[in-house]
Structure 1
Amino acid sequence: MIAMTATAASDFDRAAGSAAPLGGETVLRLLVVDDHPLFREALASAIALAFPKAELHEADGIRAACDILGQNPAIDLTLLDLSMQGVTGFDGLDTIRARFPRVPILIVSGLTEPRIMQEAVRHGAAGFVPKAVDKATLTRAISEVLGGALFMPPDLAPAPVPARSADKAPVAERVARLTPQQMRVLAMIRQGKLNKQIAHELQVGDSTVKAHVSEILRKLEVISRTQIVIETAYLDFDQAGGF
């Protein structure tokens, strides 16, 4: 595994487009997990151009990634390849999610089938980016996930799951899976509040809110904040457990 600091001359706000800056002297910490050295180098270079002050770590496998995450609890985002030696299916994603549930994971993969993207989200991924995307799309994906949104490429994203799909439990049952704190976050999402506003009101860190949002998406079996609002629009929260 390799750890490095990404440096480049481009301006953060210009590279990140409409994404809100992280503010002050906050250091953005990212982990790239891929077993192909050339791709890790290319991805690191792209990230360095978009986020010149970011602290970038690299790992060539799941074990190395877990070691880095264990030693660096302040890492903000993990970029993970699904297809690595010794990894089957979503095992790598599941392992990192189980050991480090507060760190959002953005999948960067050569696999682009809608079914795989949908399943990755169900396993707790905060977004999915094909390896063939351009730097602007990668930058937007990172910025949106860091902002608490779930990123899926518009031209490849799977169709939203219908609100009353036969293979899903009733919405009240899915909401009942949430912890009391996740219920509070859900209420604020329904009010249209941003992650930073939620963090301020709950007096917790941004990374904690991101982790809650990721878990809410997973437990409600949806892929976006919009779907959260739609599916819970007519739910009686007093009967569902309240806040």
Structure 2
Amino acid sequence: MDAQYTIVIADDHPLFRNALFQSVHMAISGAILHEADSLASLIALLDKDPDIDLLLLDLKMPGADGMLGLIQLRNQYPDLPIVVISASEEPSVIRQVKSHGAFGFIPKSSDMRELMHSLNKVLGGDPCFPDGVDDFEETDSLHDKIASLTPQQYKVLHMLAEGLLNKQIAFELDVSEATIKAHMTAIFRKLGVKNRTQAVILLQQIDLNT
């Protein structure tokens, strides 16, 4: 491709980030490439340069907390095409990435030919996910329930899973304890559970930290 694109590679592993940097540089002629190794540095970069054409996002960066980073970025930058690059290639992970608004999914095991094909497809305006993902039917609505949570509710749910008390969560998020209770009520309603134990068990049934 001869058009010039600005692409951000967000991954906390220097070796893989460098390898992906070289691969993208070879795949996209003349591309302007930026790198980020945490969610905080990524957001700072996106705020500084609003003309990013594509974000290649790893799910396991510091601050991202599994799918939380994708959810936050999708809400904060609704027009930014985000393609998740992950070593987790399970259909359930890919479906969840898709349900949270990613524009594509590229397995880290992809070879150069596959990477070039995926990048060209995405930059051409077409979503790109591995073949056959939509052929798998969900056995229940867990992913839809999780996807219905707001970023703040998602944070609260993960803090519940870490064993934090309402007061501790309120302190960490710099809100009142009453606000946390309101979030929990909404979380329980959306997940169809009655208490925090059931909510945590539900969360553990899907791998959000991959």
Please, what TM-score do these two structures have when normalized by structure 2? Answer: 0.62
- Indicate if the aligned counterparts of 1:81 and 1:107 stay in contact, CA closer than 8 A: yes
Identify the residue that residue 69 of structure 1 maps to in structure 2. Answer: 46
Counterpart pick for 1:104 among 81, 92, 99: 81
Question: More helix by proportion, 1 or 2?
Answer: 2
- Alignment partners' CA distance in 1, 2:136 and 2:6: 31
RMSD, aligned CA: 2.1
CA deviations on 1:137-191 (whole Å, 9 max, x unpaired) are 111111111222111122x6341669xx996xxxxxxxxxxxxxxxxxxxxxxxx
1:136 and 2:95 matched: no
C-alpha spacing 1:160/1:144, structure 2 compared with 1 (3 Å): farther
CA deviations on 1:100-130 (whole Å, 9 max, x unpaired) are 1111100000111100100101001001011
- Alignment partners' CA distance in 2, 1:50 and 1:146: 12
- Indicate if the aligned counterparts of 1:115 and 1:158 stay in contact, CA closer than 8 A: no
Letter in 2 for 1:157: V
Letter in 1 for 2:110: V
Counterpart pick for 1:52 among 12, 29, 50: 29
- Alignment partners' CA distance in 2, 1:67 and 1:33: 12
- Alignment partners' CA distance in 2, 1:51 and 1:143: 8
- Alignment partners' CA distance in 2, 1:85 and 1:70: 18
- Alignment partners' CA distance in 2, 1:126 and 1:67: 21
Identify the residue that residue 104 of structure 2 maps to in structure 1. Answer: 127
- Alignment partners' CA distance in 2, 1:96 and 1:45: 25
- Indicate if the aligned counterparts of 1:31 and 1:77 stay in contact, CA closer than 8 A: yes
SS of match in other structure, 1:65: helix
- Indicate if the aligned counterparts of 2:85 and 2:107 stay in contact, CA closer than 8 A: yes
Please, what TM-score do these two structures have when normalized by structure 1? Answer: 0.54
SS of match in other structure, 1:102: coil
1:37 and 2:5 matched: no
Identify the residue that residue 133 of structure 2 maps to in structure 1. Answer: 157
- Alignment partners' CA distance in 2, 1:77 and 1:160: 28
- Indicate if the aligned counterparts of 1:144 and 1:151 stay in contact, CA closer than 8 A: yes
How far the C-alpha of 1:53 sits from its partner, in A, is 0.2
Unaligned residue ranges in structure 1 (runs of 5+): 1-11, 13-20, 168-243
Identify the residue that residue 198 of structure 1 maps to in structure 2. Answer: none
How far the C-alpha of 1:89 sits from its partner, in A, is 2.3
C-alpha spacing 1:68/1:86, structure 2 compared with 1 (3 Å): closer
1:78 and 2:72 matched: no
CA deviations on 1:170-214 (whole Å, 9 max, x unpaired) are xxxxxxxxxxxxxxxxxxxxxxxxxxxxxxxxxxxxxxxxxxxxx
Identity of aligned residues (%): 36
- Runs of 4+, deviation exceeding 3 Å: none
C-alpha spacing 1:112/1:158, structure 2 compared with 1 (3 Å): farther
Letter in 2 for 1:109: S
SS of match in other structure, 1:79: strand
C-alpha spacing 1:136/1:91, structure 2 compared with 1 (3 Å): same
Letter in 2 for 1:122: S
